[in-house]
Structure 1
Amino acid sequence: MSQPVVDDVPQPQGSSPSIALATSEDARQRRKIAELEEKLQVLESGQAIKRRETNYYISKGRAIQCIVTLYDALEDLIAENDRRCDDQQSDEDSPVHPHSQECLQFGYIALSNALSWFHSRASELEYDEYLQMLKKLRQGADGARGDDTSKLKSLVADWVNRELKPHPPVDTDDKSCRGFVNDACGRLLCPTELDWSNPIVRAGIRDHAGGHVVTEMSWPTFMYEKYTANPDNLEEGLFKSSPLVQPYKAIFTSPSSAKEFANEGDGADIIANNRRASKDFHSGKKVKTHLRLALSSVTSWRSIDGDFDYIPFWRTIVDFFERPPGRAAQRKVEQLLAWWTRKVFGTSHRAELSDGAKANMSVNALARQRAQLDDAAFDSD
């Protein structure tokens, strides 16, 4: 039997389906290239989405340790919220939660408020994707803390040198010469119940001698206004020192605004501060935190510095503001926060405007004029 012959033209209808209809090699190659390019485009599109998602999580994670929790793990916050959901579904009475669990739950609520999408997304994602999200958020948080501690290292040295004028000045790069071996840094780190000017106290602190061991159970001098505490009223002046406000302003407004603290009092220019903060935010400037670590001789981040444990110290500060023992303490906390608002953002005189003054301002005057013209046109019709 003779073999079928395929000409350069399509075969008539009814030809065997095993016979290939001839096409040019160039056409076939163009189609293959187009298919590969389409697959590559789909693949790159997915990778681009994944990269954008990763960058988004990392960028959002940078704020966690500033506005949510400094030390608690995200997994612990989530586990505490899940545990409470399980308790609500049980028939048992609502249990009394220990303080540690209350802190975790407050942290989860703060996280959900700061990242409004987090709660729903954590519920919707597949488990592997959920783990990747937490990993990237942690990566962002750790990266921000690393930036904070390294940049504040030089800023704090500048502030100490400018305010205390030590001789020799505090080295802006070498942290090994800080801490209690440095008289200026030691004065700021010294517990308020001890007198740094006493040479016996200085020697005892440096030697970790009995009665001079520095732990998180003491308020450091740098946390007090003018570095002086009243032993009969330890709340007086606490959290009102310039070395506290300056790092805060460096973090949340701009490093340059922190330099203005000493001269601005309570009447700072809010508009100038906000413009500066916006400019620095959009230009990508980074701002830093953790004052005690910057004053110490520790060269890398860790939660325990000798006998001083940062974790319970941080929780003591949080409790001071969030768990006042009564109404009088609550009023003092509110007054202190109002003081911080003035120091950071300046004083707004808007509330001092009378209704009459507001009515005569050009925006309101123009609105009245337009309404009057509209009324006149309506009456003429």
Structure 2
Amino acid sequence: MSHVEDQQNEGNTSESHIDGDGEGSKSHIENRLDGGNVQPQQSQAVAAHVQALQRRKIAQLEEKLEILQSGHAVKERQTIWYVAKGRAIRRVVALFDSIEDLITENDRRCEESDDPDTTIEQDRLQIGYSTLTRTLPWFYKKGSEMEYEEYSHMLKMLRQRADSARGDDTSKLKTLVSEWVNREFKPVSLVDPDDKHSRGFTHDVCGRLLCPAELDWNNPEVRAGIRNCSDGHIVTDLSFPAYLYDKYTTNPDDLEEGLFKGKILIQGYKAVFTSPSSAKDVDGDGDGADVISNNRRAKKSLSVIKVKKHVAQIIQMEKVTPRSIAYIACQVRFALSSVTSWRSMDGDFDYEQFWRTIVDFFERAPGREARRRVDKLLEWWTRKVFGRNRRGELSDVMKANMSVNALARQRELRDDAAFDSP
């Protein structure tokens, strides 16, 4: 073969190699990829699958996060709701007894329904439970539907807010009581709204208001005896303080006369349950503004505007109750005392027993006449605090006999008679 032919053949061989590169090279590359167990289409499919899987996982995580956040928000709203509802417990249910104690006594009675023998303390707890379920009508149903953990959480929230509300009232009355005492008695040594150390029996006016009903504060020997805690002058919860009485004076021959009608006691009640401003108007026998009626009118006329509600509105309270009076009696005494932090004992004075004594005065009247006097006193308190509105007390029979309804019946009877006549 000539040199030229060799070159041509070489060119043909190269051309043939180049011409076949589309197929040959592809086959060659595929063989190389197959040898490495990696194919382009399979690789792309795997990558797409991984991306899709990751997207699904992200979506699932986002969904779980949203559920957790939603659940947290619901739990937070529930906590706020329980916190708001719990504010009434110390004020109108039980100042010292725990919610758990009330529930335990009610459960005991359900389990031992055939046991008629109960103690005074057990009866007091049972009345407390009944008061709790009236004040928080949702309590029993909601509690019976909950798991134990959620139920315990609810009780904890209620208890915390109950104690918080008591603390708020203590702080509020600390200042207000000092203002009322200074305004009414104008003492030489004014009661300091920020300092409690100068109150109590060391202060002449506070001492007069805290003085046991059976003793005469105007007697120098009595004042000295109380301040020195000498025999015959020990101040305990077995004595009703003078501030509980009308005009802060007592009738030794009738210690029930004027009891629980003290002006500063009424001021304390209105300051907590209606408003501090309403406490300025306590004169007269319920002749002031009708709180209940005014609240209803305000609700209608200001339905679009947010108006801050007072305690009685929040808990839908339209009558003064025994336990709410006992609560305020303890709060006012604490405000008059020199004790700086809330506790159940002040020297020889037991606040817990004092609260129970007042509750029992109303709830355990010894006879029919005593019950009648207690009911009359509570009616007086309701007029004093809420005004003279008694519409809610009208029975269906009383409403039926009133002229508007009576006239409606008469008109119907006349129409029926006219229709039946020939």
What TM-score do the two structures reach when normalised by structure 1? 0.82
Check if 1:296 corresponds to 2:337: yes
- CA 1:84–1:277 in 2, change beyond 3 Å: closer, same or farther? farther
Q: Map of 1:265-284 to 2, 5 A cutoff? A: 265-270=285-290, 274=295, 282-283=307-308
Paired amino acid for 2:137? S
Match for 2:71 among 39, 43, 46?
46
Check if 1:339 corresponds to 2:380: yes
Deviations 1:50-71 (A, max 9, x none): 1111111111111101111111
Deviation at 1:355, TM superposition (A): 11
The secondary structure found in structure 2 opposite 1:62 is: helix
- Matching residue of 1:195: 216
Matches of 1:39 and 1:309 in 2, distance apart? Answer: 54
- Matching residue of 1:58: 83
- Matching residue of 2:317: none
- Matching residue of 1:310: 351
Higher helix share: 2
Whether contact under 8 Å (1:178, 1:185) holds in the other structure is yes
- CA 1:251–1:275 in 2, change beyond 3 Å: closer, same or farther? farther
Paired amino acid for 2:348? D
Whether contact under 8 Å (2:246, 2:263) holds in the other structure is yes
Matches of 1:282 and 1:229 in 2, distance apart? Answer: 42
Deviation at 1:275, TM superposition (A): 6.8
Whether contact under 8 Å (1:253, 1:274) holds in the other structure is no
Paired amino acid for 2:175? S
- Matching residue of 2:92: 67
- Ranges in structure 1 where 5+ consecutive residues have no aligned partner: 11-18, 366-370, 372-381
Whether contact under 8 Å (1:221, 1:229) holds in the other structure is yes
Check if 1:326 corresponds to 2:367: yes
Paired amino acid for 1:124? E
Matches of 1:332 and 1:303 in 2, distance apart? Answer: 30
Matches of 1:349 and 1:324 in 2, distance apart? Answer: 24
- Ranges in structure 2 where 5+ consecutive residues have no aligned partner: 1-33, 313-326, 413-422
Check if 1:95 corresponds to 2:116: yes
Matches of 1:140 and 1:277 in 2, distance apart? Answer: 27
Q: Map of 1:12-161 to 2, 5 A cutoff? A: 20=46, 22=48, 33-88=58-113, 93-161=114-182
Matches of 2:390 and 2:164 in 1, distance apart? Answer: 39
Paired amino acid for 1:170? V
Deviation at 1:134, TM superposition (A): 1.2
Q: Which structure: larger Rg? A: 2
- Matching residue of 1:216: 237
| Backbone CA RMSD of aligned residues | 3.3
The secondary structure found in structure 2 opposite 1:283 is: coil
- CA 1:277–1:68 in 2, change beyond 3 Å: closer, same or farther? farther
Paired amino acid for 1:159? W
Deviation at 1:42, TM superposition (A): 1.0
- CA 1:82–1:292 in 2, change beyond 3 Å: closer, same or farther? same
Deviation at 1:124, TM superposition (A): 2.6
Matches of 2:276 and 2:215 in 1, distance apart? Answer: 32
Deviation at 1:46, TM superposition (A): 0.5
Paired amino acid for 1:215? T
Deviations 1:13-65 (A, max 9, x none): xxxxxx6263696x777655544332221110010011111111111111101
Deviation at 1:162, TM superposition (A): 1.1
Paired amino acid for 1:259? K
- Matching residue of 1:374: none
The secondary structure found in structure 2 opposite 1:77 is: helix
Task: State, as a whole percentage, how many aligned pairs show the same letter.
Answer: 57
What TM-score do the two structures reach when normalised by structure 2? 0.75
Deviation at 1:285, TM superposition (A): 6.7
- CA 1:62–1:356 in 2, change beyond 3 Å: closer, same or farther? closer
Deviation at 1:299, TM superposition (A): 0.7
Number of residues of Structure 1 aligned to a counterpart in Structure 2: 352
